[in-house]
Structure 1
Amino acid sequence: MTIIVACGGEDPAATSAPAPAAQPTTAPAAAAPTTAPAAAAATAAPAQPSASQPTATLTVFRPTATPTGGGGAPAATATPAPTPTQVPMPVGQLKVNRVIAAMPVLQETNRIWEGPWSLLQQHVPFADTLLRNDPTTGAAGPGLAVSWEFNDDFTQWKFNLREGVQYHFGIGEFTSADVAWVHSLLSSDDSVSTMSPVWRTVTVDQVGDYEVAFNFETPYLDGLRLFSRTAGDLYMMSKAQFDAEGMDAIDDRPAGTGHYRYLERSPGLGVSYEQAEIEHWDGATPDFPEFELKFITEDATRMAVLLAGDAHIANLSRDLQVEAANRGMRIISSQQPTIQTVSFMLGQYFLTGDESYRDDVPFEDIRVREAINRAVNRANIMEFIYKGSATPVYVYGWTPSHEGWDPRFEQEFEANYGFDPEKARQLLEEAGYGPGDIEINFPTMNFSGNPELSQIAEAIQLDLDAVGITINLQEMEYTALRPDLVAKQAWNRMWMSRNLPIRTTQEAVRVFYADEGVTHAAMYDELEAMYQQLKATVDLAERDEIARRMGNFAFDNYISIPIAQIFYELSVDPEIVEEYIFSGQTPTSLDHIHLIRGVRE
């Protein structure tokens, strides 16, 4: 059975080894989830955001299928294509021709396979994906592909490509050869992209110049996310250009099909783009002739640049937003909640036979993991760091809109995770640790959209010091930490991370907890077995039950330190930027660049 989605309209195994000497201490298996009696009020109740926020709630990204009566293969339902936004013709002269965004960057490169998908903010202006996302809802619709279909077990996704789309610089036409080539880059042995473990399980068939099929080893229900910007890194660049010019083409002047084309890179400073010389396939024209990403790591420096008029958009922490607003700047927000934040307790390499297992990691004891969670004052983080603009996360990677949500996560959070330093000290003493016995290194860094992560790390340092745990904060580039995460060599460290965009349950587990993932934040036999079961089934009732058991395991075993869920907020100069509507539900959040509207004289 093949299911066709017709869309109209356009939008603007661990290496075998002896088992560990000691098995990690875990909580007893949770009983079948039930709705538990409400516990005391959570540590921090949801608060109103500091800036004006959209009324939209998280778009539900459940698989686009419903179970059949017999519980067998699901039948798909079509996702409506986004409705194009009608933009009135501008009147008057722009105050500036180049709009500049001051943003942190984790890795400077045009090579999409050389790092995590956060680097894609450098590709958003000039490169397109097969599907595109509505700027308000984040829903996927036609992009470089005009229609798509998938089979009854979601092991094949087939796309009909848009004909006549031209690459920048006169390189030639976009075809299926480009799709297959970009996939080969992302699936190569050298690739360390966020989605590379998925792409390596996929083969690509070119069915003529304008049709391509992706064949998965196991069911893949998240195709609408994978092939769009929501949770994908398949950004189209030209194979013909690469064949003619080699790697220099990618490094110096990559050709895309976006609204802007690549202009130049100034290493250590930023990247600039100019309006494409050809009309975009959607007919939209950017308001600003040029766009520039200015790379600035320090939060305070980004604000200084914004206030000085040397940038017009900046990602600032909530405390600096207040000062910027007092100085005349305006705060704008993503249309959807975008990010979950977490602190990981690294070194939980507890799969049977995993050679990365070490018996000197305090996190092996569930009492230590609970104590750390009890010691963290989330209410203070919500009030003083997020300024009331965040809501609690109860199990990292799970939301009420996704598979596996259990009401007990929220209802029992205070009883199990609530701030209680005295309880934390008691648990540490029971585990055999006195004041100063546990010393943990804590690399700190900020991601685009998360300028508060270092501040949260500092707050956690103070909270843990109060219960006798020593935290050594270490300012570090993510590119220095990531190899240890991938290789499972980040023992006895903590690390602030984020779930951006808010992933489906299966994808969150793959990225952060599964053996095939890239973070390896907490690896347990029980969790890995359930993840493999989830991957193998397309029965939605069964998937929900498996995902719920996974969530209960994560909740009951304190495998991470869940913090908050936030919108992506930007500070803009209202003398230059009139409007910017974006969903925020992409790996970079800074998306739909061509929709930035300028103030005119």
Structure 2
Amino acid sequence: MSTNVATYNERWVSGEIVSTTGEEMLNRRQFTKSLIATGTALAAGASSLNLATAQPRRGGRLRVAGHVQSAQDTLDPAKFVQSTDYARGHMLYNALTRIDGNGQAQPELAESFEANQDVTEWVFKLRKGVTFHDGKALGANDVIYSIMRHKDPKVASASKGLVDDLVEVTADGTDGVRVKLKSPNADIPVLLGTFGFMIVKKGTTDFSTAIGTGPFRLKEFSPGVRTVVTRNDNYFKPGRPYLDEIEYFGIADPVARLNALIAGDIDMMSDLRPNAIDEAKKASSVEVFSTPCPRFVQFAMMCDREPTNNLDLRLAVKNMLDRERIVKQVLNGYGVVANDHFVMPKSPVYNSSLPQRGVDIDKAKFHLKKAGMENASIELHVTDAVQNSIEMGLVLQRQAALAGLTINLKREPSDGYWSNIWIKRPFHAVVWNPRPTESLMATLIWKSDAKWNDTQFKDPHLDQLIDAARGTVDPDKRKQTFWDIQSIIYEQGGNAIPAFVNYIDAHSSKVKGLTPVPTGNLGGFNFADSVWLES
């Protein structure tokens, strides 16, 4: 196994992480300054504002309200699809790696990892002394089982599309695992740090409870109601976690969620709406926590069913979007204008040759006429479960009327939206949380066979480009590949994407240790590992 391509090692000092790298993950800073990194530079300054200078205090009970409430809540990492699952997962489990604020893979259950020369094999050395909540020692067989179960059709893993290129995972010596791939993939350490790849005990099939290695043990789990966890005193990170207990539940109504925080009924909340920021700032006990990131809201137009299977209708809608108004008025400036694809303007692989779309009513009318849909009427499904989609839908509705298209907004309840509406109705709102690299995002959403391909846009050439991007190390070739990917989605895809949306959360001023990680709300959903309560 070569060590001159990609190595990463880590040691623990006084309960904190001190990392040393070999050659920088295939010079990742040059060729995978990922989706996440574009938002992190903006967020980096904020992290120092929330980090406490005093020694973290142990003890206390944290009450957290998420913005999603669902009877589909699960303890099975392979089924994680919602923010409630992600946050709960980080309380109870760990992955081989973790994603830091720069979108980089850092050692977690693996203390080091390295690749061969052509990045078709990766070896992860496991951290010694890690035990599951029931006392069983972590071993290679647990890791092998946890990864390979995603390939089992019976599991119906939400992450199955990410392991299609994986050939096998085997033990490597007494304390390692070897991951073999069909083709080069420089993003494997990042992929194995994402939510779905948290490690469970070998043979686990019953997920009515959770036996993980995480900072907390499960005390109570009521899907759609609440989760209660208590400190794992045998956690492998010395001195952590700081809290005694966390109660986590959903409050779907954004007004009720903020009122609960102001009243002191909760300590932290996700998804503070932009129009409520000023109100939150007026409360002396509340702090606003904003993380710029490549999260985006889109209006998905499904390409396999009427009426949105008509390319001219899709192009008409894209030319109706008043993106500037959405960023300024709907997002209150907490976002960035998008251009109907998933790459942010500050990304090193952003396709700057594509004309920035804005409101062009004449062009919209032209495409409506070609589509034979002049003076037609279509239904757009929006919901509070997709942050800001109702307000964005109203902006789109007004511009569509000027072009001669009637858009009827159908406001759907949050509960059940992802099971009843998403990837089922021709025209519906979707929010996509960031992934650490553009390759992961493209694989999850735009591969023809991706489980989460919510527009059902399928293009063999696009599939080939996405596969090629994963193993492309040369920065110039990687950039050109992503330019081609963006062009296809921009010109033909079913995604009308007006803006990238900051994560905006809020918390009590007594909550300390929260740092921005642009993979999700509240520190990338990984607040349990680091936050503490000031007395």
Q: Normalising by structure 1, what TM-score?
A: 0.74
Matched, 1:2 2:2: yes
Aligned residue for 2:196, secondary structure, equals: coil
Q: Structure 1 residue 439: deviation in Å?
A: 1.6
Q: Structure 1 residue 179: deviation in Å?
A: 0.6
Q: Structure 1 residue 168: deviation in Å?
A: 1.5
Aligned residue for 1:517, secondary structure, equals: coil
Does structure 1 retain, via aligned residues, the 8 Å contact 2:436–2:519?
A: no
Q: Which amino acid aligns with 1:455?
A: E
Matched, 1:492 2:426: yes
Does structure 2 retain, via aligned residues, the 8 Å contact 1:332–1:570?
A: yes
CA distances 1:481-530 after superposition (whole Å, capped 9, x unpaired):
558867xxx463233222x2245332222222211212332223442343
The match for 1:378 among 323, 342, 359 is 323
Distance in 1 of aligned mates of 2:211 and 2:338: 40
Matched, 1:300 2:266: no
Aligned residue for 1:8, secondary structure, equals: strand
CA distances 1:455-496 after superposition (whole Å, capped 9, x unpaired):
32343334334432333424155866558867xxx4632332
The match for 1:127 among 69, 93, 106 is 93
Matching of residues 160-559 of structure 1 within 5 Å: 160-170=125-135, 172-202=136-166, 203-228=168-193, 231-239=194-202, 242=204, 247=206, 250-252=207-209, 254-278=210-234, 280-315=235-270, 316-333=272-289, 337-346=293-302, 348-349=303-304, 358=305, 360-366=306-312, 368-400=313-345, 402=347, 404-409=349-354, 412-413=355-356, 417-435=357-375, 437-446=376-385, 451-467=387-403, 468-475=405-412, 481=418, 490=424, 492-498=426-432, 500-520=433-453, 521=455, 522-535=457-470, 537-557=472-492, 559=494
Between the two proteins, the alignment pairs up a number of residues equal to 494
Does structure 1 retain, via aligned residues, the 8 Å contact 2:298–2:431?
A: yes
Q: CA RMSD in A?
A: 3.1
Task: From the superposition, tell whether residues 476 and 112 of structure 1 become closer, same or farther in structure 2 (CA, over 3 Å).
Answer: farther
Task: From the superposition, tell whether residues 227 and 526 of structure 1 become closer, same or farther in structure 2 (CA, over 3 Å).
Answer: closer
Does structure 2 retain, via aligned residues, the 8 Å contact 1:112–1:186?
A: no
Q: Structure 1 residue 390: deviation in Å?
A: 1.0
Aligned residue for 1:221, secondary structure, equals: coil
Q: Structure 1 residue 336: deviation in Å?
A: 5.4
Does structure 2 retain, via aligned residues, the 8 Å contact 1:225–1:232?
A: no
Task: From the superposition, tell whether residues 193 and 164 of structure 1 become closer, same or farther in structure 2 (CA, over 3 Å).
Answer: same
Aligned residue for 1:556, secondary structure, equals: helix
The aligned residue for residue 67 of structure 2 is 103
Does structure 2 retain, via aligned residues, the 8 Å contact 1:376–1:419?
A: yes
Gap regions ≥5 residues in structure 2: 18-23, 29-50
Task: From the superposition, tell whether residues 214 and 495 of structure 1 become closer, same or farther in structure 2 (CA, over 3 Å).
Answer: same
Task: From the superposition, tell whether residues 131 and 532 of structure 1 become closer, same or farther in structure 2 (CA, over 3 Å).
Answer: closer
Does structure 2 retain, via aligned residues, the 8 Å contact 1:345–1:492?
A: yes
Aligned residue for 2:149, secondary structure, equals: helix
Task: From the superposition, tell whether residues 402 and 538 of structure 1 become closer, same or farther in structure 2 (CA, over 3 Å).
Answer: same
Percent identical among aligned pairs is 17
Distance in 1 of aligned mates of 2:415 and 2:151: 22
Task: From the superposition, tell whether residues 6 and 580 of structure 1 become closer, same or farther in structure 2 (CA, over 3 Å).
Answer: closer
CA distances 1:415-465 after superposition (whole Å, capped 9, x unpaired):
xx2113344234313432221x24234253525xxx323432343334334
Gap regions ≥5 residues in structure 1: 13-62, 68-84, 350-357
The aligned residue for residue 58 of structure 1 is none
Q: Which amino acid aligns with 2:25?
A: T
Distance in 2 of aligned mates of 1:509 and 1:478: 27
Q: Which amino acid aligns with 1:177?
A: N
Distance in 2 of aligned mates of 1:335 and 1:476: 27
The match for 1:154 among 106, 119, 126 is 119
Distance in 1 of aligned mates of 2:450 and 2:422: 10
Aligned residue for 2:319, secondary structure, equals: helix
CA distances 1:289-325 after superposition (whole Å, capped 9, x unpaired):
1112111222122123223322111122111232222
Aligned residue for 2:208, secondary structure, equals: helix
Does structure 1 retain, via aligned residues, the 8 Å contact 2:7–2:112?
A: yes
Does structure 1 retain, via aligned residues, the 8 Å contact 2:308–2:427?
A: no
Aligned residue for 1:169, secondary structure, equals: coil
The aligned residue for residue 80 of structure 1 is none
